[in-house]
Chain A
Amino acid sequence: MFKYIIKRLIMSVFILLGVSMIIYFLIRLMPVDFIQDKINAINQGGATVSEETVNAMYEMYGLGDNSFLGILKGYFSWLGALATLDLGTSFVYGIPVAQVIFEHMGISFAIALIATIFEFMIAIPLGITAATHQYSFRDYIVTILVMIGISLPSFFFGQMLKDVLALKLGWFPASGLVNATASFSGVELLLDYFKHMFIPILTIVILSIGARMRMTRTNMLEVMNSDYIRTARAKGLRESVVINKHAFRNTLIPLVTSLAGLLPSLFSGAIITEQVFDLPGIGNIALDAMNRGDIPFIMGYNMFLALLSVIGVLLADLMYGLVDPRVKLE
């Protein structure tokens, strides 16, 4: 087991190297130019920038040479810095990338974690009743509702919830993370946070329940039709025991595996939802960085997600070995 984990971790290093190379080259090929934007801003201010200053700036940011060799050089200097655990300095914020990520990750993580917990808590029971009452009225109602959920785009549904719950009814604040006019502390501050996060979380939960519920239903149906469920019934077990013990334990296998695979999405932030509710989460920041060509941040953010994905996949495999006795990790 230990040996297996070590082996997988060593393999991960190579995967991450490949990923970083692809991301870096793609970003350098992107038609956004941080320096040009900056110069344009200065020009608009009325000042003029000499050709030499412009070139000096390109050199300073390490973007001077756009030939293949130049990009390669840029990549390796980024990699060299990474070896000393330095993700570089964000162009836009002028502070280390790691710091930017950590400052904004908390809020995104909190929203994603709470939303995921609710998603599983609601979707799994719904999936199970839909499966055990297949093609009944209950199944159709649940399926129709979650399908509506899947089909709604988040910018539309989020806006709608905001309009009704925040603007019309005034139950929750419409945007932002803290009440700008009041200064809370301690429990009150926490409560204020939750008030602000309520609609975004509700939006994410409603939109994501569908997929999870359908997945549970499909797995459950497959399990319910298997021979060992017939055996369990033939033994004289009550239907509730058959479903909640024998069937559910088998349905759990793909669910638990998918749970570990969710790791990167907990930290990646919900770009559109954060936009709609004007939350300073990492998704919002990442989108901004993309638009402005903040290469060190985009690299740092994407590599962080890549690392989480690799760990997530490893965790999923380990979980698989844990919940399914047939799987042996060697």
Chain B
Amino acid sequence: MAANYLSGKEIRAIAKENKKVMKRLEAYKYRKCDESEYLTEMKNAENILEIDDLHTYFFTDQGVVKAVNGVSFDIPKNATVGVVGESGCGKSVTSMSVMRLLQAPTGQIYSGEIRFKAKDKDGTVKTYDIAKMPMRDIFKIRGNEIAMIFQEPMTSLNPVFTIGQQLDEVTFIHDPEATKEDAKARSIEMLNLVGIAMPERVYNAFPHELSGGMRQRVMISMALASNPRLIIADEPTTALDVTIQAQILDLLRDLKTKIDGSIMLITHDLGIIAEMADYVVVMYAGKVIEKGTVQEIFHNPMHPYTIGLQKSKPTLQSDSDTLFNIPGNVPNPINMPDHCYFKERCTNCIGKCSGEYPGMIQVSPTHFVACHLYEEDQKNG
């Protein structure tokens, strides 16, 4: 593409600038600091996770990709929050930022806060700002208070270790004094919990001997083995066939009550959201464009993008032979202009849309939307 052509001079300038910023952020990540530096307070005590104005950038040779560009949402206790959006909208990057698993050194949390209410080993409740935590302290949370389930069960397990070896590891991380028998007992208990029929056999199996659904169950059991208070499920059913999808979703729903925790469910499937989530966050091009309870988003979608997403869902009632699609493509995330990113694809544009990016407008106590169309309403009503 001619528009994306960069001269050698420009590339060198970008690389130089990137190197400077990456070096600073990497040094910040590996700094030594006292716990007090990243202790903070929750805005709302009912929440377990608060993401506040999070910016996660990738410093590539083509320029800075603002994959997550000012995202804010909360995950309340014992709730399932669904994050929806099309591919490349930054939903996975948001979850990776929470886990601090971004591909270094290009991927970096640039600014923002990720407040997480953690329980220490002795039971005291502390609120950490995950975005400010140095990497050597991240183990207080990662795989401990927050566990993650990935999209690709086929490749997410290490092929050269048995399921048992990989599950036992989790127990050993939390309890270094545990004996081999303790770990095995716990692993088998976890395999039972996720509904694996022959846990003893699966325990001794290698990943390649299991089906995709079984592997995803193993991944879930691995996430559960650490007794997490928040599970991040990044498209847990995308790679599975439909019947297995339903089983895995049922399993996740059961588990939420069993572990008494919260789930952050990332998906592009609105059906799953409707079935599973209490709250929905809709993301577009690295920004949250609408968020609210599941009823609000499904019965009263406000942002033109959310409305489009709903329309593009296949239904049996429709007479049409073709699926509705939102015209156009997701914009190139480098050097985005300061106006609504959905403008080019939106059918309801007004004059104001060429102006600066719309702020979040509160429609109801829980419903927020970022669209110029509703600004007047707010003033009037």
Contacts and interface: CB of A to CB of B under 8 A. Distances in A.
B101 A235 contact: no
Contacts of B99: 234
B226 interface: yes
Interface string B16-52: 0000000000000000000000000000000000000
Given A231-B156, A234-B99, A324-B159, 20 more contacts: A227-B150, A227-B155, A228-B156, A230-B101, A230-B156, A231-B158, A231-B219, A234-B147, A235-B222, A236-B139, A236-B142, A236-B143, A236-B173, A237-B143, A237-B169, A238-B139, A246-B158, A253-B160, A325-B159, A325-B160
A126 B311 CA distance: 55
Contact of B159 (A232, A234, A238, A250): A250
Contacts of B147: 234-235
A38 interface: no
B170 interface: yes
Nearest to A238: B139
A323 B161 CA distance: 10
A97 B140 CA distance: 68
B208 A235 contact: no
Given A227-B150, A237-B173, A326 B159 contact: yes
B86 interface: no
Nearest to A233: B101
A226 interface: yes
Contacts of B158: 228, 231-232, 246, 249-250
B160 A227 contact: no
B157 interface: yes
20 contacts: A227-B150, A228-B156, A228-B158, A228-B159, A230-B156, A231-B158, A234-B99, A234-B142, A234-B147, A234-B150, A236-B170, A237-B173, A246-B158, A246-B161, A249-B160, A250-B158, A250-B159, A250-B160, A325-B208, A326-B208
B144 interface: yes
Contacts of A234: 99, 101, 142-143, 147-148, 150
Nearest to A252: B160
Interface in B198-237: 206, 208, 219, 222, 226
B269 interface: no
Interface string A225-268: 01110111111111000000010011001000000000000000
Contacts of A233: 101, 142
Interface of B is mostly: loop
Nearest to B225: A235
A58 to B, nearest CB: 60
B152 interface: yes
Contact of B157 (A228, A236, A237, A249): A228
Interface of B: 99, 101, 139, 142-144, 147-148, 150, 152, 155-161, 169-170, 173, 206, 208, 219, 222, 226
A255 to B, nearest CB: 13
Contact of B150 (A231, A238, A253, A323): A231
A285 B212 CA distance: 58
A221 to B, nearest CB: 12
A227 B158 CA distance: 8
Most buried by A among B157, B161, B222: B161
A324 B160 contact: yes
A323 B160 contact: yes
B144 A226 contact: no
Contacts of A246: 158, 161
Nearest to B104: A134
Contact of B144 (A227, A236, A238): A236
Contacts of A232: 158
B160 A231 contact: no
Most buried by B among A226, A228, A233, A246: A228
Most buried by A among B160, B222, B226: B160
A308 B291 CA distance: 68
Closest CB pairs A-B (n = 7): A236-B143, A227-B155, A228-B158, A235-B143, A325-B206, A234-B148, A227-B156
B143 A249 contact: no
A323 B159 CA distance: 11
A295 to B, nearest CB: 48
Most buried by A among B99, B139, B147, B156: B156
Contacts of A227: 150, 152, 155-156
Contacts of B144: 236
Contacts of A236: 139, 142-144, 170, 173, 226
Nearest to A246: B158
Contacts of B173: 235-237
A243 B139 CA distance: 16
Nearest to B138: A236
B159 A231 contact: no
Contacts of A228: 155-159
A249 B143 CA distance: 22
Given A226-B155, A227-B155, A235 B169 contact: yes
Contacts of A226: 155
A227 B151 CA distance: 10
Contacts of A253: 160
A273 to B, nearest CB: 37
A126 B152 CA distance: 31
Nearest to B173: A236
Nearest to A326: B208
A325 B150 CA distance: 23
A326 B152 CA distance: 18
Nearest to A134: B105
Given A238-B139, A325-B206, A325-B208, A231 B169 contact: no
